[in-house]
Amino acid sequence: MQAATSLVPKNYLTEKQGILSWLFTTDHKRIGILYTGSITAFFFLGGFFALLMRLELLTPETNLVQAETYNKLFTMHGIIMVWFFLIPSIPNTLGNFFIPMAIGAKDLAFPKLNLLSWYVFMLGAGITIYALCRGGVDTGWTFYTPFSTSYSTTYVVAAAIGILVNGFSSIATGLNFIVTIHKMRAPGLTWFRLPIFCWSMYATSMILVLATPVLAITLLMVAVERLAQVGIFDPALGGDPVLFQHMFWFYSHPAVYIMVLPGMAVVSEIIPAFSRKPLFGYKAVAFSSIAIAVLGFFVWGHHMFVAGTSVYSAMTFSLLSYFIAVPSAIKVFNWTATVYGGAVSWDTPMLYAVGFIGLFTIGGMTGLFLAALGLDVHVTDTYFVIAHFHYIMVGGTVMAYLGGVHYWWPKISGKMYPEGIARLSAATVFLGFNLTFFPQFILGYLGMPRRYAAYPPEFHMLNVLSTAGASILAVGYVMPLFYLLWSWKYGPAAGPNPWRATGLEWKTESPPPKHNFEVTPVVTYGAYDYEALKEELQLVS
Amino acid sequence: MSPEIAPLALHEQFANPEQQRETASLGMWIFIVSEMMLFGGLFVAYTVYRMYYPQAFTEGSADMDIVLGSVNTAVLICSSFTMALAVHSAQMGSRKLVNIFLLATMAIGCVFLVIKFTEYYKHYLDHKAPGVWFDSAAANPGKVELFFVFYFIMTMLHALHMFVGLGLLTFTLLRNLAGKITAEYYNTIEVTGLYWHFIDIIWVFLYAIFYIPGLHP
**What is B12-74 written as a DSSP string?**
TT-SSHHHHHHHHHHHHHHHHHHHHHHHHHHHHHHHHHHHH-HHHHHHHHHTS-HHHHHHHHH
Q: Which of A173, A164, A221 is nearest to A201 (CA)?
A: A173
In a domain, A437, yes or no: yes
Q: Does B149 touch chain A (CB under 8 A)?
A: yes
Please state the domain extents for chain B: 14-210
In a domain, A139, yes or no: yes
Q: Note the pLDDT of residue A3.
A: 45
B33–chain A nearest CA distance, Å: 7
Give the CB-side neighbour count of residue A334, counting CA atoms within 13 A: 24
* Residue B120's pLDDT band (cuts 50, 70, 90): very high
Cβ proximity of A405 and A94 under 8 Å:
yes
End-to-end CA distance of chain B: 61
In a domain, A5, yes or no: no
Residues in chain A: 541
Which residues on adjacent β-strands are paired with residue A415? A493
Q: What is the mean pLDDT of chain B?
A: 92
Q: Does A116 touch chain B (CB under 8 A)?
A: no
In a domain, A18, yes or no: no
Q: Note the pLDDT of residue B5.
A: 47
Give helix A241-275 / helix A348-371 axis angle, nearest 10°: 150
Average confidence (pLDDT) over B13-30: 91
Cβ proximity of A102 and A512 under 8 Å:
no
- Boundaries of domain holding A313: 29-540
pLDDT in tens, chain A (541 residues): 444 455 677 899 988 889 999 999 999 999 999 999 999 999 999 999 999 999 999 999 999 999 999 999 999 999 999 999 999 999 999 999 999 999 999 999 999 999 999 999 999 999 999 999 999 999 999 999 999 998 999 999 999 999 999 999 999 999 999 999 999 999 999 999 999 999 999 999 999 999 999 999 999 999 999 999 888 999 888 899 999 999 999 999 999 999 999 999 999 999 999 999 999 999 999 999 999 999 999 999 999 999 989 999 999 999 999 999 999 999 999 999 999 999 999 999 999 999 999 999 999 999 999 999 999 999 999 999 999 999 999 999 999 999 999 999 999 999 999 999 999 999 999 999 999 999 999 999 999 999 999 999 999 999 999 999 999 999 999 999 999 999 999 999 999 999 999 999 999 999 999 999 988 899 988 889 888 888 877 776 5
Hey, are the CB atoms on A213 and B13 less than 8 Å from each other?
no
In a domain, A227, yes or no: yes
Mutation for testing the A interface, residue in B30, B47, B150, B155 having most A CBs under 10 Å: B30
Question: Residue A497 CB: number of other CB atoms within 10 A?
Answer: 18
Write out chain A residues lying below 8 Å of B42, CB-based: 217, 221
Q: Note the pLDDT of residue B106.
A: 98
CATH assignment of the domain containing A421? 1.20.210.10
Q: Does B90 touch chain A (CB under 8 A)?
A: no
CA-to-CA distance for A408 and A197, rounded, in angstroms?
Answer: 13
In a domain, A8, yes or no: no
* Residue B1's pLDDT band (cuts 50, 70, 90): very low
CA-to-CA distance for A398 and A262, rounded, in angstroms?
Answer: 10
Write out chain B residues lying below 8 Å of A212, CB-based: 34
ipTM summary value: 0.93
Q: Note the pLDDT of residue A113.
A: 97
Q: Does B51 touch chain A (CB under 8 A)?
A: no
In a domain, A11, yes or no: no
Hey, are the CB atoms on A231 and B12 less than 8 Å from each other?
no
Q: Note the pLDDT of residue A537.
A: 75
In Å, what is the CA distance from B36 to each residue of B29, B32, B202?
11, 6, 9
In Å, what is the CA distance from A455 to each residue of A56, A445, A461, B141?
11, 14, 12, 45
Q: Which A residues 46-65 touch B at CB under 8 Å?
A: none
CA-to-CA distance for A158 and A160, rounded, in angstroms?
Answer: 5
Hey, are the CB atoms on B130 and A228 less than 8 Å from each other?
yes
Position A187, amino acid = P
B131–chain A nearest CA distance, Å: 5
Residue B183 scores a pLDDT above 50: yes
Hey, are the CB atoms on B31 and A110 less than 8 Å from each other?
no
In Å, what is the CA distance from B174 to each residue of A142, A473, B107, B167?
45, 56, 16, 11
Hey, are the CB atoms on A247 and B44 less than 8 Å from each other?
yes
Q: Note the pLDDT of residue B8.
A: 53
In a domain, A110, yes or no: yes
A520–chain B nearest CA distance, Å: 9
The total of structural domains in chain A comes to 1
Check if CATH label 1.20.120.80 holds for domain B14-210. Answer: yes
Hey, are the CB atoms on A213 and B37 less than 8 Å from each other?
yes
Q: Note the pLDDT of residue A404.
A: 97
CA-to-CA distance for A321 and A299, rounded, in angstroms?
Answer: 5
- C-alpha torsion B11→B13→B17→B23, nearest 10: -110
